[in-house]
């Protein structure tokens, strides 16, 4: 019986130890930081479409010009330089769109790093619910029009600008809507994250060679610190680089735009993002209904509709929560901001020396005030005195003045005797 109890006790002890070790292992696993994801977008070098000032979003599209090839070499040099790697780490994988100009721009970096270029966009560009690709935004009816002037330049970006404000249902006439564009881009980002290995620093850094409008508008549609003025004031030129980081909640933060560092969102921007995300939610819910509706699948329609209702409700809750949090943070940061402001003061520095006292003559002459500023009395030539001795000098001058006045009076009263004495 005693042996049995010892055996049972040993088993219980071993079981408890195993449970403790398992719990510790799970705790350690959850405590380990997840690898950070950085995506570096690069606009392709100059293409023959750019050189001829024509909008060309066709696939595979035109090649790079000799100038564009030089820009590709410059991009490779920058992405392998300490100016880039010290900030974001080395590139771990390279991706390009289905258009030739991005693949040609990626080639020098691929050669320098001995990494393959993975083309994003095949074979699911047209399947409902499976769109994927980082190719340029379809120009629709504006295809072939001048890129820098006229109706082509304005008309092509009207719909994408509406997307950045949350109106993703708006289509480019003859092209894609913001919902379709965002779907293929987000699917691309998921594939990039899944396929990019972590580097020696434990982080993932993917270089994605894409297109000007695609990079600019997807970034402003999805990051939590958008600055829409950048699109107008600093549109991306050939070879420009944009860096975004993935957040813990799966969102994105803009880190740099064409070499310009971008800081966190201020309060107005935070509220704009909250409203934007709230507006997008019902549009996304309706858009998701097209997949079961095209089948058609009644059960899928019901489940997708129910999921859409839940997503819209969650978006509403998130809007309230984020708005309250952002507002509270903004209010509580006001005292700190005020403390950082140094009030302007006007100080008279007297170097700790006492101010000179009022001194009057013993005969009732007018008093004189000598004010000592910055530790020294302002003395005229012939009346020098060491710093801090202005009061004694003043007294002496008063005594001398009184004495002179007294002597002058005596001389005047003495009449001729005084005159003869002076002549002698």
Neighbours of 403 (CB within 10 A): 10
Strand 241-246 and strand 37-43: the pairing is: antiparallel
Using CA atoms of 73, 77, 79, 83 in order, give the dihedral in degrees to the nearest 10: -150
- Of the candidates 258, 212, 235, 257, the one whose C-alpha atom is nearest the C-alpha of residue 101 is 212
* 259 alpha-carbon distance from chain centroid: 12
pLDDT at 149 (0 to 100):
82
- Residue 208: C-alpha distances to residues 91, 195, 214, 234 (Å): 10, 13, 11, 20
Q: What are phi and psi for residue 14, nearest 5 degrees? A: -65, -40
Q: Residue 244 corresponds to which tokens in the numbers above?
A: 């975004």
> Distance (Å, rounded) from C-alpha 365 to C-alpha 368?
9
- What interhelical angle do 390-414 and 416-423 show, nearest 10? 110
Please say whether the beta carbons of 146 and 128 come within 8 A: no
pLDDT at 305 (0 to 100):
83
Residue with tokens 């396929």: 195
> Distance (Å, rounded) from C-alpha 83 to C-alpha 79?
8
| This prediction's pTM | 0.71
What is residue 289's DSSP assignment? Answer: T
Q: What are phi and psi for residue 84, nearest 5 degrees? A: -100, -50
Pick the CATH number of 34-264 from 3.40.50.1240, 3.40.50.10480, 3.30.413.10, 3.20.20.80: 3.40.50.1240
Altogether, the residues listed in the chain come to a count of: 424
> Distance (Å, rounded) from C-alpha 273 to C-alpha 266?
11
Average confidence (pLDDT) per 10 residues, the chain, 424 residues: 48 48 41 70 96 93 97 98 95 97 98 96 63 94 89 91 97 96 95 93 95 97 96 95 94 95 94 96 91 76 86 92 92 74 50 43 42 40 44 56 56 43 39
| Active-site residue list | 44, 136
Cis peptide before 123 (omega within 30 of 0): yes
List CB contacts of 347: < 8 A, sequence separation 6 or more.
none
Cis peptide before 330 (omega within 30 of 0): no
């Amino acid at each position: 019986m005693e042996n049995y109890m010892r055996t049972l006790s040993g088993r219980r002890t071993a079981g408890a130890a195993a449970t403790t070790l398992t719990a510790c292992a799970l705790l350690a696993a959850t405590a380990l930081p997840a690898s950070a994801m950085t995506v570096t977008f690069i606009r392709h070098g100059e293409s023959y479409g750019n050189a001829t000032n024509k909008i060309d979003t066709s696939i595979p599209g035109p090649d790079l010009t000799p100038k564009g090839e030089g820009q590709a070499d410059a991009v490779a040099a920058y992405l392998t330089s300490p100016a880039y790697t010290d900030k974001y780490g080395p590139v771990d994988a390279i991706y390009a769109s289905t258009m030739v100009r991005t693949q040609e721009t990626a080639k020098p970096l691929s050669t320098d790093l001995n990494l393959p270029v993975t083309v994003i966009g095949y074979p699911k560009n047209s399947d409902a619910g499976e769109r994927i690709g980082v190719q340029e935004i379809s120009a629709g009816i504006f295809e072939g029009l001048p890129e820098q002037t006229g109706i082509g330049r304005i008309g092509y970006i009207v719909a994408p600008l509406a997307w950045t404000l949350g109106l993703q249902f708006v289509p480019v006439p003859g092209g894609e809507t913001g919902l379709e564009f965002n779907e293929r881009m987000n699917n691309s980002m998921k594939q990039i994250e899944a396929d990019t290995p972590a580097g020696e620093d434990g982080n993932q850094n993917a270089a994605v060679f894409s297109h000007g409008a695609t990079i600019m508008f997807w970034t402003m549609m999805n990051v939590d610190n958008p600055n829409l003025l950048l699109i107008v004031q600093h549109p991306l030129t050939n070879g420009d680089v944009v860096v975004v980081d993935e957040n813990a909640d799966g969102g994105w933060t803009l880190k740099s735009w064409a070499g310009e560092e971008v800081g966190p969102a201020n309060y107005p921007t935070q509220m704009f993002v909250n409203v934007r995300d709230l507006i997008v939610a019902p549009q996304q819910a309706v858009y998701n209904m097209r997949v079961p509706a095209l089948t058609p699948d009644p059960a899928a329609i019901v489940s997708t509709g129910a999921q859409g209702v839940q997503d819209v409700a969650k978006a509403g809750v998130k809007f309230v929560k984020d708005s309250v949090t952002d507002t509270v943070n903004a209010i509580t940061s006001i005292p700190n901001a005020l403390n950082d402001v140094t009030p302007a003061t006007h100080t008279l520095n007297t170097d700790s020396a006492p101010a000179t006292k009022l001194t009057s003559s013993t005969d009732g002459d007018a008093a004189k005030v000598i004010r000592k500023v910055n530790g020294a009395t302002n003395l005229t030539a012939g009346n020098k005195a060491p710093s801090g001795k202005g009061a004694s000098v003043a007294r002496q001058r008063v005594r001398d003045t009184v004495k002179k006045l007294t002597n002058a009076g005596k001389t005047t009263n003495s009449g001729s005797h005084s005159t003869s004495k002076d002549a002698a």
